[in-house]
Amino acid sequence: MVKNYKGLTAKIIKLLEEDPGQPVKDLARKLGVNRTYLAGYLKALEDQGYVKSKRIGPARVYFNVEQVGEGAGK
């Protein structure tokens, strides 16, 4: 069965706006997609400047680019 990932970028951005700093595992569960696939997808989004990530312990957590900028001045 082929999953429909249409609109995945918009869904990711919305989830990160609502709850910034989510790890791949949580995002994958909420979106219903494979964690490995999502990790690669998020890496591509980061390379394109849509999201930023930060390693916290063993987890990599993701933020919208705007949220990272907002926290930078604090």
pLDDT of res. 48: 93
Q: Whole-angstrom Cα distance, residue 31 to residue 1?
A: 17
pLDDT of res. 26: 97
* Domain residue ranges of the chain, discontinuous segments joined by +: 20-72
Q: Which fold has domain 20-72?
A: Arc Repressor Mutant, subunit A (1.10.10)
pLDDT of res. 20: 95
| Structure token pair of residue 56 | 């916290």
Q: DSSP per residue over the chain, as a string?
A: -----TTHHHHHHHHHHHS-SEEHHHHHHHHT--HHHHHHHHHHHHHTTSEEEEEETTEEEEEEHHHHHHHHT-
pLDDT in 10s for each residue of the chain, 74 residues: 345 667 999 999 999 999 999 999 999 999 999 999 999 999 999 999 999 999 999 999 999 987 655 544 33
- Please state, as a whole number, how many other Cβ atoms lie within 10 Å of the Cβ of residue 53: 19
pLDDT of res. 72: 40
pLDDT of res. 65: 86
